[in-house]
A and B are shown apart, each in its own frame.
Chain A
């Protein structure tokens, strides 16, 4: 077990290095000069060169990368934005909780939707409910999230006025000038983004839960449980679900990364100041340190979450834990 953990951590390190290198290389392949953008439209060539020197862009790529890595490892610093000269760490620490709450909230909604729907579909295959659920799955997989987001925002937010159309409210550090704040306002504003991200993701999960439950239902040990005289509720909870959920846990681990990507669109639609917005802006303005920061943070988050899910998997499946 410990050996497994060490191996996993070493792999995480390698992966992390690869991600930073790829981001760096791609950035420098783009034919644009960040210094020119940072210096402003009317800057003279001398001024641009000064800015280049100031930002370290006059040095070869590998030196820049080395400096970046050194700063990251020794100081844990992602550097400063080319544009605002503010610490990237701070920017990410501000934006990440918003994205995280979007992703985790959506994931909870996905499970609340997909597990009951998947089980019911599996218990009554080819029933009206099953067919309806499968139609929904198709729609969920096919439609783009931003379209669903805009439609929901229009119908539920604008027409029915049940939720805000867009916007974000702080939970903890509410500023004096803010028009809204606190847990209720925050959740009220997050409702539609969560729902949008959940709708597009839950489809796959309904199908997956349905398939897993149907497969597990016909296992010999489920028959054994019935032969013991266990009531159907116990059979479902203790014998079918406990086994059917193992692959679902793995899938959640893989999908959280995908959800981080999907969150970018949702943030844009609902005007949430999360990591997606930060990354988008950084790309448009060739702000390498900020972009690099978002990518590295994302990679770290995915690596950590995958590790947690793997450990969780080992915890719930004794065959992995004890082998």
Chain B
């Protein structure tokens, strides 16, 4: 069966006052119906831009995108603005990082929810409102029939994110892009929202692209994981495979920096240094200035994304030989036992 969403060699470039900036550099992945794909990486690695490009939500005047974004075989990068509007919010929906600012302060949430229905369905206002109420109940907003007339500022952050989720799912989309949906929320609310997303994903059968910098969220929710670093994909595998046999030093760094309750450590491991500037990325492997395993070849040659031997689907982009990777990964897993439990 053909995948629902196929991203092929996606490249997105912004023209900035400081020169061209390659925000996404040759990213490819597939999303199957009902699958949850995690995209992990530090701030500014291009994971949000990848998704905004899929949605066609980048500023058109300063952005150029190449490659292909095939949704049911239709290339969204070449689709007309009208066709994109038909797809957005209907077949592909999106929720954003900050629920405090993502809802319009001057409209009631009922109005904002029904707007989403009326843009795509030929129904009466009343029917749209009934659908809105249905979704508010589905995302478990207490006393939904009364709260539907309230304004965003009358809701807490977690409740607003529930409203955002309700709005995204109101037209039963095939794909939901969740751009760090829990980052701006406190820890207990985070857990509730993730639980809700998982539940709704099963109920609605929606495929989810989960953008996050939190490997804990990935372990909790995802089927497949794409690890991005400095606009490129550095590792791509199933979630169990990534946590059992991580093959890229950057992924090791991310796993080493996870806080754990069942291990006694003085302080958390961190990846030294800063992510490189996308205006002027380093030669060779972009991770080499921060990588503890740097070899001469890393400074010269960009490592291609290649299969990692082992039988299951697993791609990685690192010059280290597979044996060294297996050894280092095993060492890391020993020291962080318990993380991979998903």
Contact = CB atoms under 8 A, between A and B. Distances in A.
B151 interface: yes
Contact of B94 (A227, A238, A319, A323): A227
A220 interface: yes
A229 B101 contact: no
Nearest to B113: A228
A67 interface: no
Given A224-B96, A229-B90, A318 B151 contact: yes
Contacts of B102: 220-221, 223-224
A228 B167 contact: yes
B89 A238 contact: no
Contacts of A231: 85
Interface string B74-116: 0000000000011111100110101001111111100000011
A230 B82 CA distance: 10
B229 to A, nearest CB: 25
A230 to B, nearest CB: 6
A226 interface: yes
Given A221-B102, A319-B151, A226 B167 contact: no
A228 B107 contact: no
B103 A224 contact: yes
A322 B154 contact: yes
B130 interface: no
A227 to B, nearest CB: 4
B98 A220 contact: yes
A164 to B, nearest CB: 44
A229 B89 contact: yes
B83 to A, nearest CB: 11
A227 B55 contact: yes
- Which of B102, B103, B106 is most buried by chain A, counting CB atoms within 10 A of its CB? B106
9 contacts: A221-B101, A221-B105, A225-B104, A228-B116, A229-B120, A230-B119, A318-B105, A318-B151, A319-B153
A150 interface: no
Given A229-B87, A238-B107, 18 more contacts: A219-B101, A221-B102, A221-B103, A221-B104, A224-B102, A225-B115, A226-B57, A227-B96, A228-B89, A228-B119, A229-B85, A229-B86, A229-B119, A231-B85, A238-B115, A317-B105, A318-B106, A319-B153
Interface residues of A, number: 24
B54 to A, nearest CB: 11
A307 interface: no
B84 to A, nearest CB: 8
A210 interface: no
B171 to A, nearest CB: 9
Interface in A268-323: 316-319, 322-323
B98 to A, nearest CB: 6
Interface of A is mostly: helix
A243 interface: yes
A242 interface: yes
Contacts of A242: 104, 106-107
9 interchain residue pairs of minimum CB distance: A229-B89, A228-B89, A229-B88, A220-B101, A221-B104, A318-B151, A227-B94, A220-B102, A229-B85
A230 B107 CA distance: 15
Contacts of A189: none
A230 B115 contact: yes
A219 B120 CA distance: 23
B115 A243 contact: no
Nearest to B99: A220
Contact of B106 (A227, A228, A243): A243
A256 B333 CA distance: 71
A230 B103 CA distance: 14
A239 interface: yes
Nearest to B90: A229
Contacts of B107: 238, 242
A322 B151 contact: yes
Contacts of B154: 322
A55 to B, nearest CB: 55
Contact of B96 (A220, A319, A323): A220
A71 B90 CA distance: 69
B74 to A, nearest CB: 16
A316 B106 contact: yes
Nearest to A245: B106
Interface string A196-226: 0000000000000000000000011101111
A317 B107 CA distance: 9
Contact of B88 (A227, A234, A316, A319): A227
B167 to A, nearest CB: 7
Contacts of B98: 220
B93 A227 contact: yes
A238 B85 CA distance: 17
Interface in A95-152: none
Contacts of B116: 228-229
Interface string B121-135: 000000000000000
A239 B164 CA distance: 16
Contacts of A238: 104, 107, 115
